């Protein structure tokens, strides 16, 4: 490394120059006053002084050049040091951001661990991710695959702290790409990405999407859905954002699978495995809730008890497997005939079924029951290449006309069912 020039050198140059100047002035005075011929020596002295001054000037220029080089080296070192400091600050900022992110991940994990149902889990995921990527133009969408149909649909969508309605319920070209490849996706600018032709494949009235990060929700090789964040601002996301999103998808995948298992177990506890209808215990709980609600609103409620006529003989004739087929088909027809919102269809036990119809009069309940009875009477059950048929008897009781308590209402409907059987079966009787 070049040494810094010393101030002593400049001082020495000044002293030498001063000495020569004094000497020349003295010689000039001597020649002018005492001896004119001494001007020859004076001219030689001047020549020598000029030569020395030129030599000093050259050395001074070299020193100045060295100083300039040193200054450039110092500036270069200062710039390198400044770049290192900025790099260190970026590292510190990145580390600080990671600490914040991991703190947020801890909060997400705690919320997911306390969420049991799929709806609660989906809401927690979209809400927390919306806070992670907190920008007014960011939209968070969680797509999940339906457990039975396999179709992908929106489970939750959020922009900021508000729920947002997304028109593409089954995903757009970006989501289809993630589903097809099961790989994460980063799009810095949708208008410049050669993989997607948004002008042709996105509707004109769709919302503006310029940048996207998206990741599949995977458990092993099983795809549960997609977690996506998009923005109307181009180049809004970087690779670091995608890596953080993928960390979230790992947590979300486990939470969603647990929620689905929980709902499946809960559903098994309240539904009949053969017919898929609610079980008797669940029906009793729901009936009590409906009675309290209708009592406060002073509304009527109809309760239907349904029994398959001579079902034991049918089982003996065609076997229990055939009987199970009839039960499943009858349950499907029940759900279709009483599919209005609020109706509750249950398997009471064996070949007995019941239906709770809120806000329903006795006349309307009798009409619906008669339509169901008539349809079952006409229904053909093909078993072992043989056409068979069954009939049902129906008993109806209403609240509060016939009873004001749950047990009394069931008893009245069951008594009406007994009357229907006593009068010849295949008919509807009201309490």
Q: Are residues 295 and 365 in the same domain?
A: yes
Q: Which of 226, 248, 270 is the last residue of a domain?
A: 270
pLDDT in the model for residue 375: 92
Query: Does residue 112 sit within a domain?
Result: no
Same domain, 297 and 265: no
Is residue 251 in some structural domain? yes
The region, left, alpha or beta by phi > 0 then psi within -120 to 50, assigned to residue 396 is: beta
Q: Residue 340, Cβ neighbours under 10 Å: how many?
A: 11
From CA 260, how far away is CA 122, in angstroms rounded?
11
Shared domain check, 377 and 345: yes
CATH code (residue 379): 3.30.70.270
CA dist., res. 137 & res. 151, Å (int):
28
List all residues 6 or more positions away from 52 whose beta carbon is below 8 Å from its beta carbon. 16, 20
Helices (H), 115-183: 118-132, 173-181
- Any domain includes 310: yes
Closest CA to 112 of 14, 235, 253, 231: 253
Main-chain phi, psi angles of 194, to 5 degrees: -70, -15
- Residue 94 inside a domain? The answer is no
Q: What is the pLDDT of residue 322?
A: 86
Q: Can you give the residue range of the structural domain that contains 67?
A: 11-86
CA dihedral 309, 311, 314, 320 (to 10 degrees): 160
CATH number at residue 182: 3.30.450.40
- Residue 383: CB partners within 8 Å, gap ≥ 6? 318, 322, 325
- Virtual CA dihedral for 409, 413, 414, 416, nearest 10 degrees? 140
Q: Kindly state whether residue 381 falls inside one of the protein's structural domains.
A: yes
pTM over the 0.75 mark: no
Residues 266, 285, single domain; the answer is no
Per-residue model confidence as pLDDT tens digits over 92-114: 666 666 666 666 777 778 788 87
Q: Which residues lie below 8 Å from residue 293, measured CB to CB, with a gap of 6+?
A: 358
Distance between CA atoms of residues 373 and 368, nearest Å: 9
* pLDDT per residue rounded down to tens, the chain (431 residues): 444 444 555 666 667 667 767 766 776 776 666 666 666 666 676 777 778 778 877 888 888 888 888 888 888 888 888 888 887 777 666 666 666 666 677 777 878 887 888 888 888 888 888 888 877 788 999 999 887 778 888 888 888 777 777 777 778 888 889 999 999 999 998 888 888 877 776 666 577 888 999 999 998 888 999 999 999 888 888 888 898 889 889 888 999 998 888 888 877 788 888 888 989 888 888 888 888 887 776 788 999 999 999 888 888 888 888 889 899 999 999 999 998 888 999 999 889 999 999 988 899 999 999 999 999 999 888 877 788 889 999 999 998 888 888 899 999 999 999 999 999 999 999 98
Q: What is the number of structural domains in the chain?
A: 3
Would residue 102 count as lying in a domain?
no
β partners of residue 140: 158, 229
Residue 108 lies in a domain: no
Residues 236 and 155 in one domain: yes
From CA 373, how far away is CA 40, in angstroms rounded?
Answer: 147
Relative to beta strand 185-187, strand 211-219 is antiparallel
DSSP-assigned letter for residue 271? B
Does residue 1 belong to any structural domain of this protein?
A: no
Residue ending a domain, choose from 210, 236, 270? 270
> Does residue 211 sit in the same domain as residue 250?
yes
124/239 same-domain check: yes
81 burial via Cβ count (<10 Å: 0-12, 13-18, 19+): exposed
Cα dihedral 74, 79, 84, 87, rounded to 10, equals 170
Same domain, 63 and 32: yes
Residues in the chain: 431
Residues 74 and 122 in one domain: no
Residue appearing with tokens 């490394």: 1
Q: Which of 374, 82, 392, 108 is nearest to 227 (CA)?
A: 108
Domain end among 225, 251, 270: 270
Same domain as 192, residue 141: yes
Q: Are 320 and 245 within one domain?
A: no
Q: How far is CA 135 from CA 69, 128, 160, 382, in A?
A: 49, 13, 7, 61
Comparing C-alpha atoms, which of 284, 216, 222 is closest to residue 252?
216
**β-strand 428-430 against 392-399: which pairing, if any?**
parallel
Are 122 and 181 contained in the same domain? yes
d(CA 406, CA 357): 14
Report the C-alpha gap between 171 and 177 in whole angstroms. Answer: 10
pLDDT, tens digit (0-9, with 9 covering 90-100), for 111-143: 888 788 888 888 888 888 888 887 778 899 999
> What is the rounded radius of gyration, in angstroms, for the C-alpha atoms of the chain?
46
């Amino acid at each position: 490394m070049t040494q810094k020039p010393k101030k002593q050198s400049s001082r020495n140059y000044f002293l030498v120059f001063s000495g020569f100047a004094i000497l020349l002035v003295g010689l000039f005075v001597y020649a002018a006053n005492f001896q004119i011929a001494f001007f020859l020596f004076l001219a030689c002295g001047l020549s020598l002084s000029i030569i020395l001054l030129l030599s000093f000037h050259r050395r001074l220029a070299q020193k100045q050049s060295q100083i300039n080089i040193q200054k450039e080296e110092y500036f270069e070192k200062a710039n390198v040091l400044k770049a290192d400091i900025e790099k260190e600050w970026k590292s510190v900022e990145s580390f600080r951001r990671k600490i914040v992110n991991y703190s947020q991940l801890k909060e997400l994990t705690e919320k997911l661990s306390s969420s049991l149902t799929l709806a609660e889990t989906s809401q927690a995921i979209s809400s927390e991710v919306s806070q992670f990527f907190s920008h007014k133009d960011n939209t968070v969408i969680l797509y999940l695959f339906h457990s039975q149909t396999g179709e992908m649909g929106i489970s939750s969508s959020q922009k900021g702290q508000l729920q947002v309605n997304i028109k593409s319920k089954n995903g757009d070209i970006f989501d289809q790409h993630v589903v097809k490849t099961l790989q994460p996706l980063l799009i810095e600018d949708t208008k410049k990405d050669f993989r997607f032709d948004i002008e042709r494949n996105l509707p004109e009235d769709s919302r503006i999407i310029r940048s996207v990060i998206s990741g599949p929700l995977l458990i092993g090789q099983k795809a549960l859905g997609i977690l996506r964040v998009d923005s109307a601002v181009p180049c809004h996301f970087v690779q670091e954002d995608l890596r953080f999103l993928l960390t979230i998808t790992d947590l979300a995948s486990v939470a969603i699978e647990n929620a689905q298992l929980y709902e499946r177990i809960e559903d098994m506890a309240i539904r009949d495995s053969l017919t898929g209808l609610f079980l008797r215990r669940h029906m009793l709980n729901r009936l009590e809730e409906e009675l309290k609600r209708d009592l406060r609103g002073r509304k009527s409620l109809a309760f239907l008890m349904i029994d398959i006529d001579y079902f034991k003989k049918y089982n003996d004739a065609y076997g229990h497997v055939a009987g199970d087929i009839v039960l499943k088909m009858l349950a499907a027809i029940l759900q279709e005939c009483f599919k209005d919102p609020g109706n509750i269809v249950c398997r009471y036990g064996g070949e007995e079924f019941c239906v709770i119809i809120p806000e329903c009069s006795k006349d309307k309940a009798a009409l619906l029951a008669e339509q169901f009875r008539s349809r079952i009477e006409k229904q053909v059950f093909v078993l072992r290449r043989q056409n068979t048929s069954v009939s049902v008897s129906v008993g109806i009781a209403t609240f509060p006309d016939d009873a004001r308590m749950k047990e009394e209402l069931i008893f009245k409907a069951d008594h009406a069912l007994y009357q229907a059987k006593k009068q010849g079966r295949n008919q509807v009787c009201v309490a």
